[in-house]
């Protein structure tokens, strides 16, 4: 099985969680992104991968020329898709490829998720 999803520009892990009274809680940017991903998954009737071994190809399209770390965006993407029920746990990913795309108004992210064939 293979799916492609177009998501909003993911927040950095630095803003995804916030420290509130000594506890780590999801920040405003994290909640906003998570809600948007849930809506996209519901509207597109994205199939569920359950506990299959997976691979992902991710392209992050920045909204401007500001520098950012690609790896800081992965947590928000995988956690939001997991919470939306696309897969059981982000540990299922055995292969992840991430690339920076061209600048796009408002930014964005495209993720292709595919099941890996078992090596039996």
- 34 has a pLDDT exceeding 90: yes
**pLDDT in the model for residue 118:** 63
0.85 surpassed by pTM: yes
- 16 has a pLDDT exceeding 80: no
- Residue 23's pLDDT band, with cuts at 50, 70 and 90, is confident
Closest CA to 2 of 45, 37, 46, 36: 46
Q: What CATH number has the domain spanning 2-115? A: 3.30.1330.70
Domain locations along the chain: 2-115
**pLDDT in the model for residue 105:** 94
pLDDT tens-digit readout, 56-68: 999 999 999 999 9
User: Are the C-beta atoms of 103 and 61 separated by less than 8 Å?
Assistant: yes
**pLDDT in the model for residue 11:** 93
Percent of the chain with pLDDT over 70: 96
Write out the two tokens for 97.
């490829």
**Torsion 62-68-70-72 (CA) sign:** negative
């Amino acid at each position: 099985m293979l799916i492609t999803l177009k998501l909003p520009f993911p927040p950095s892990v630095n803003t995804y969680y916030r420290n509130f009274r000594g506890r780590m809680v999801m920040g405003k940017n994290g909640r906003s992104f998570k809600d948007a991903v849930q809506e996209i998954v519901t509207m597109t009737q994205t199939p569920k991968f359950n506990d299959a071994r997976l691979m992902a190809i991710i392209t992050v399209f920045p909204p401007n020329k500001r520098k950012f770390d690609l790896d800081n965006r992965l947590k928000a993407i995988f956690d939001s898709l997991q919470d939306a029920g696309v897969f059981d746990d982000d540990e299922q990913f055995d292969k992840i490829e991430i690339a920076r795309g061209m600048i796009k108004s408002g930014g964005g992210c495209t993720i292709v998720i595919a099941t890996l064939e078992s090596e039996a």
